[in-house]
Amino acid sequence: MKILVTAFDPFGGESINPSYEVLKNLKDNIEGAEIVKIQVPTVFYLSVEKAIEKIKEVNPDAVLSIGQAGGRYDISVERVAINIDDARIPDNIGQQPIDTPIDPEGAPAYFATIPIKEIVEEIKKENIPASISNTAGTYVCNHLMYGILNYIHKNKLNIKAGFIHIPYLPVQVLNKPSTPSMSLGDMVKAIETAIKVIVKSCKKSR
């Protein structure tokens, strides 16, 4: 069994992206599943192209994407991706789509196909704050989640997919008063816990 995990490069003036720091620290094998890691650029469309390229190459059982949600205090497991780009800031190549459908022929939205409630419960059992989020925003993270689910849906692939937003790392908030952060150790443990749940659910649906 293979699980593809994607993370983003830094954006919006940050010099690191916690999702990539977590990705680098994930075990290479979790519950018998091979963990394949890829960093994608914080760029509309190109991020999805890179992820799809990798999906074709490794044929994973599930794809878990992670991204930074600066300002959120907990691990947020996204329920839904919507068919819209509405960028508050330009992406890493200067694109700033406003009120633009991601795929004019695609569904208005797709729900995550990973077990989001069980993931939240298991992360909380590790004493790490986590919750379901009902919006992944309208920037590149939502775009990637939508793009992957849309690709899987259109090609009728048996691949589960979902997205988890994580807070800033403590080093990112040194000069951001009253802004939450979470340690790398806790975030790695939370994502590895999420992957365990995903591996179990993939085994069941085989």
The residue (of 158 and 171) whose beta carbon lies closer to ligand PCA is 171
- Catalytic residue status for 57: no
Q: Which of 180, 163, 188 is nearest to 48 (CA)?
A: 163
The span of 61-69, 117-125, 171-179, 182-190 binding ligand PCA (CB under 6 A) equals 61-69
Choose, by CB under 6 A, the member of 3, 4, 19, 21 that binds ligand PCA. 19
* Residue 160 main-chain phi, psi, to 5 deg: -80, 150
Q: Does residue number 151 form part of the binding site for ligand PCA (CB under 6 A)?
A: no
Q: Does residue number 168 form part of the binding site for ligand PCA (CB under 6 A)?
A: no
Token pair in block for residue 87: 């960028």
CA distances from residue 180 to 41, 53, 62, 163 in whole angstroms, order as listed: 25, 35, 30, 20
Choose, by CB under 6 A, the member of 3, 5, 26, 42 that binds ligand PCA. 42
* Set 21, 122, 143, 165: catalytic member: 165
Choose, by CB under 6 A, the member of 4, 5, 6, 17 that binds ligand PCA. 17
CB 160 → ligand PCA: shortest distance, Å? 21
Q: Is 36 helix (H, G, I), strand (E, B) or coil?
A: strand
Choose, by CB under 6 A, the member of 137, 147, 162, 167 that binds ligand PCA. 137
Token pair in block for residue 63: 């794809």
CB 68 → ligand PCA: shortest distance, Å? 4
Exposed/middle/buried for residue 156 (C-beta within 10 Å: 0-12, 13-18, 19+):
exposed
CB 11 → ligand PCA: shortest distance, Å? 5
The residue (of 140 and 187) whose beta carbon lies closer to ligand PCA is 140
- Catalytic residue status for 165: yes
Count of C-beta atoms within a 10 Å radius of residue 183 = 12
Roughly what angle, to the nearest 10 degrees, separates helices 18-25 and 184-204?
70
Give the count of residues interacting with ligand PCA (CB under 6 A): 12
- Catalytic residue status for 21: no
Outline where the chain has alpha helix (H): 18-25, 46-58, 116-125, 140-154, 184-204
* Rounded Cα gap, residues 40 and 43, in angstroms: 8
Catalytic residues: 78, 141, 165
Positions that interact with ligand PCA (CB under 6 A): 8, 11, 17, 19, 42, 67-69, 137, 139-141
